[in-house]
Amino acid sequence: MDESQLRVLIAEDESERLDFKRELRLDTARAKAEFIKDVISLANSAPSVGYLIVGVDDAKLVVGTDEVPEEQIQSVCDTYTTPPVSIRCYSIPVSIPLFPLVGVIEIRARRRPLRVARALEHLNKEDVFVRHGSVVARASADEIIRMDEGWLRSVERNRKRLLIASSKLRLGNWRGAIEEYSKVIDAEPTAEVYLARGEAFEMAFWAQLKKGLSDQRAEFLTHAHEDYCLAVDIGDSEDIQRRARIRRLYLDQSSTEEWEADLAWLKSHSKGREYAEVIVLEQRVYYRRAHEVGNDAVEALSRAIELGCDSSEVYFLRAIGHLSQYNYGLALPDLDEAIHRLESGDTATLVEYLARKAEVLVSMERFGEAYDVLVQARKADVHETYQMTSVMWNQSRAYLLRCALQAGFEDPRDPYLSRQLKERGAAKVLALGLSPWDLKDVYRQCPALKSLVSDIVGDDFARLIEEDFSQYSVEIQARGLTERTEILREWIRLRI
């Protein structure tokens, strides 16, 4: 909810789904009773979501309010309404001088009719309230019967919609699945359905990413995060809480406070293998946010392995922990284990792991092995994953080639590397698909490359690298950037 959405609501008149409150008070029994009556009437009457706007009077004049106390509101609703009602609160900054905040309380009935759970002031236990326009009234017997019957029909419709959504997901129709889940949420907002729709939004994100589309990718992740937050807010089972919090962490869209709260909850509710998986998830979030892991990562991940976590990721993250401490000799076997345990077909992750291994080998001055690992990574970097890894891959190749060439030419004590570079290295590294701009950068860092390139691929191509690439650029533009690797290989074949 943002200011533009708030303004749309304020423009409406009070109705079965909308009520304005100049202020919200919960400090007396009478104030709580009035609030509970408003919540119950909106939950029972709104077609899907009811809105209680705080800080706007009946004449739609914005007077502002303090921060909406969500925890206190939820506690009052949990105590005085049955069955449980879904509440979500927003404190929205508005561009009006002197009145910086307006509160919005979203109210969704999980089941109708919503009733008073215990007597309070003028409210009796089992009282049911509805709205007729902007007027709140006790529900008649006929209205209560209609709500009960409507609820039973809704349950059956929603059951069918959930089956349809699952079927559409299996067929890869994530748009259709999201539409069906949304219909269910409008009628019966449960944590389980929010969780399912969030997972469908994630599937939509990955489907768009694989196709190279970017129109709605960010929106899909935002919607998924919102659904997981709602599942956490209203989920009353430990299983739902665990699944929603794990998915929220995997998305990495959370604030630091939310992230820390999720990790604390998961650690306090996990034992054994589950606890080990939480440790790995924590370090995974560190790595995704900063490309490094926590200070205690090696110890924590070793504990996770002892508890039975044997995934590829746990060994990769522990290798990153070793690298942060410059323990290359310990990082290398962990990277080998991570590569060995990686699931077949996950080529994007394989390329990332191999690139890291090559960096370790360069740091250990094992340049020939680093080159061989790069060759393996390039072969694995098929077209389907290249878009996801191209930036990282080009950077790491340029960096590693530069390090290897500098070390090889400046250190005559490494005849193996010099021989590799002269006999097979330079031409084959070029054939790996480095763009001319990558080569220009490498050449600038290592002038000794000029003579080697001239010897192997000819003076013309060496000059092309050294100068402005104008002829090469024209050919690339004519045939398309996606063919630049083949164009480069063609140049090399003509000159070797």
Q: What is the pLDDT of residues 114-141, one digit of tens each?
A: 999 999 999 999 999 999 998 999 999 9
The mean of the pLDDT values for the chain is 79
pLDDT tens digits, one per residue of 144-203: 999 988 888 888 888 999 999 999 988 889 889 999 999 998 877 888 999 999 999 999
Q: What predicted TM-score, i.e. pTM, was given to this entire model?
A: 0.62
Find all residues with CB under 8 Å of 460, minimum gap 6, and list them: 495
Q: For 376-411, how does the pLDDT look when each residue is reduced to its tens digit (9 = 90+)? A: 776 776 544 444 444 444 445 545 555 555 544 444
Q: Per residue in 11-30, pLDDT tens?
A: 999 999 999 999 999 999 99
Q: How far is CA 79 from the centre of its chain?
A: 35
CATH number belonging to the domain at 3-139, selected among 3.40.640.10, 3.30.950.30, 3.10.20.30, 3.40.50.1970: 3.30.950.30
Exposure on the CB side of residue 314, measured as CA atoms within 13 A: 20
Instruction: Give span(s): CATH 3.30.950.30, the chain.
Output: 3-139
Tabulate helix, strand, coil % of the chain (nearest 5).
65, 10, 25
> What digits encode the pLDDT tens for the residues 418-450?
454 444 444 444 434 444 445 555 555 455 555
141-243 topology per CATH: 1.25.40
Q: Which residue has the higher pLDDT, 94 or 197?
A: 197
Is the omega angle on the peptide bond into residue 189 within 30 degrees of 0, that is, cis? no
State the span(s) of the chain assigned CATH 1.25.40.10: 141-243
What pLDDT, on a 0 to 100 scale, did the predictor assign at position 291?
75
Section 465-493 average pLDDT: 46
- Could you tell me how many residues make up the chain? 496
- Copy the structure tokens of residue 455: 């010897």
